[in-house]
Amino acid sequence: MSQESRHAFDPYKHLNITINPNGSCTRHFVWPIVKPDTDPSPGKLAASKDVTINQETGVAIRIFRPTNLPSNDNAVARLPIILHFHGSGWVLYPADSAANNRGCSQMASELTVIIVSVNYRLAPEHRLPAQYDDALDALLWVKQQAVDSANGEPWLRDYADFSRCYICGSSNGANIAFQLALRSLDRDLTPLKIDGCVFYQPLFGGKTRTKSELKNFADPVMPVPAFDAMWELSLPVGVDRDHRYCNPKGYLPQKEKVGRLGRCLVIGYGGDTSLDRQQDFLNLLVTDGVRVEARFDDAGFHGIELVDPRRAVALLNMIRDFIN
Residue 37 among the catalytic residues? no
**Which one is catalytic: 48, 171, 234, 274?**
171
From the list 198, 204, 203, the residue with the least C-alpha distance to 242 is 204
- Phi/psi class of residue 15: alpha, beta or left (left: φ > 0; alpha: ψ in -120 to 50)? alpha
Residue 84 among the catalytic residues? no
Residue 308 among the catalytic residues? no
Whole-number Cα distances in Å, 186 to 59, 82, 143, 199, 208 = 22, 20, 14, 20, 32
Query: How far apart are alpha carbons 112 and 67 in whole angstroms?
Result: 9
**Which one is catalytic: 109, 272, 274, 276?**
272
From the list 242, 202, 4, 256, the residue with the least C-alpha distance to 85 is 202
Is the CB of residue 110 less than 8 Å from the CB of residue 171?
no
The residues with which 119 forms a beta bridge, in sequence order, are 60
**Cα dihedral across residues 254, 184, 125, 302: positive or negative:** positive
Q: Please tell me whether residue 169 adopts helix, strand or coil conformation.
A: strand
Catalytic residues: 171, 272, 302
